[in-house]
Amino acid sequence: MTSWPADDRRAQAPPRRRAPDAGLLRRLPPVDELLRSALLAALEPDVGRAILLESTRAEISAAREAIAQARLGGDEFEAYLRILPARIAARARKNLEPSLRRVINATGVIIHTNLGRAPLSKQAVARMAECASGYSNLEFDLDQGARGRRDDHAQNLLEKLFAREGVADAKTVVVNNNAAAVFLALSALARGGEAIVSRGELVEIGGSFRIPDIMAESGAILREVGTTNRTRIEDYEQAINDNTRLLLRVHRSNFEITGFVEQPTLAELAALGHRRGIPVMEDLGSGALTDLRAFGVAGEPGLCDSLRAGVSLVTCSGDKLLGGPQAGLIAGRADLVARTRKHPLFRALRVDKTCFAALEATFDAYLRERFEDIPLLRIFARKAEEIERRCVALAAAIPSAARDIVATRAMIGGGAAPGKSLPSFALVLEAEGGDAEALALDLRQSRVPVVSRIEDGRVWLDLRTVDEADDPQLAATLATLKHLRMRGPHDVSRS
């Protein structure tokens, strides 16, 4: 096997035992000579001189190391010289590949934070492109011919949605994610005063986002009440004092407490706040805008549910159960929303025109009840039997491979609907030599990367989280996998 200078993750044969040939170093072409070769000279206008120079130096450096370690010599060196410009060209093109790429999510985690959470609708992408490709009226009132407010673009549609849901007086501002929304609201409403929180809601979510830490940074003073599993409305009432600024409810977005548990309802907490003149704020997290029971997800509160219960201010994410772009919504009483907007942090946390464009398109789909336009809701609505049929079709693309079709459960993910899952099916692949990690790497290194999960030493492709339009690409990828185990004459397919 040829031992070329390593620039990829291909398996290589053990190095041959031979002495380095120092004379080969002198035969390596000078960098300038390589840059003048026909192939690289033609490539320079596309990749640029700097990238081409860097790639040439890197390839020559790798070759020197291979010669010094006696991994490159003899006939191999002659062959290497013939393809050296082509290897440099490949390096240059690889250096310019975008780091952020579209991937196929076959993990079975629907709102996958590491994979970008909720996919955007075609309408949202089109609106983003339209508003980003030129100027827009982001902060310009076209009727008055004067400066406007960027929040109005989201507020106009949300007002119609809220009115339909019986919360017509609610106002909204938008920041860059829910963590920012919580931080801004606490800073604007509770800095220097106490915010009362149940001990059972002092959560930590992904990225070490801890409610006590965020409260401390915002200047709000944490006042814990109740116990981990039981907090009563009387605990909040007894903790209220002259320095109380907020009653805070935090949604347990990524875990559940079961068994001997108790907590007041939102309506009870809101009634207490109203009676004592103290705002009630809820960190809702996911922010569903429709009843998800119709899509198979039960027990997850929505944004309008909280506002109807009398909560003064609600914060939530745009890219979780709402199905839109990354954003943080602060919705509720007009006077409290206005205070968050006037806070100095607001300008640092606000979002750009593309985010508002995507939000508008997403809100428009909810307003028109065109739920099929929202990819996240389409994923929820997929029937298990249809997912199984797609698995069978994909299995046919690799008839000689060791593979099964297995019933499984797809997780909601993303800190949304803790403990909830949906029925699904997965195409399960066996790796050559039992090396599931190598097979999963094959999938990730395909032209359109496929992210799978490894379970019981096999690679699982859960098709609930794979768009139907990606099935042909996935089938083509499966047919090229290097580490996929082929069935022997005595194997029996279980699919």
Which pLDDT belongs to residue 12?
42
Q: Which of 308, 303, 243 is nearest to 278 (CA)?
A: 243
Which pLDDT belongs to residue 495?
43
Which pLDDT belongs to residue 85?
95
User: For the segment 420-464, what is each residue's pLDDT rounded down to a tens digit?
Assistant: 899 999 999 999 999 999 999 999 999 999 999 999 999 999 999
User: For the segment 249-261, what is each residue's pLDDT rounded down to a tens digit?
Assistant: 988 765 566 666 7
User: For the segment 264-298, what is each residue's pLDDT rounded down to a tens digit?
Assistant: 889 999 999 999 999 999 999 888 999 898 888 88
Which pLDDT belongs to residue 489?
53
Provide the 10 A C-beta neighbour count for residue 81: 14
CA distance 392 to 108: 17
Q: Which of 398, 358, 407, 414 is nearest to 479 (CA)?
A: 398
Q: Can you give the residue ranges of every domain in the chain?
A: 23-95, 104-110+380-478, 122-373
Torsion of CA 251, 257, 263, 265, to 10 degrees: 50
Beta-bridge partners for 350: 175
Which pLDDT belongs to residue 438?
96
What is the pairing mode between strands 458-462 and 313-317? unpaired
Under-70 pLDDT residues of the chain: 1-20, 205-209, 253-260, 415, 417, 488-495
Question: Domain 104-110+380-478 carries which CATH code?
Answer: 3.90.1150.180
Which pLDDT belongs to residue 493?
47
3-state secondary structure 392-415: HHHHCCCCCECEEEEEEEEECCCC
Whole-prediction pTM value? 0.85
Please check whether residue 417 is in contact with residue 256, taking contact to mean a CB–CB distance below 8 angstroms.
Answer: no
Locate 446 and state its tokens: 């395909």
CA 227-229-233 angle, 5° bins: 65
Which pLDDT belongs to residue 347?
93
Establish whether domains 104-110+380-478 and 122-373 are of one fold: no
Which pLDDT belongs to residue 173?
95
Which CATH architecture describes the domain 122-373? 3-Layer(aba) Sandwich (3.40)
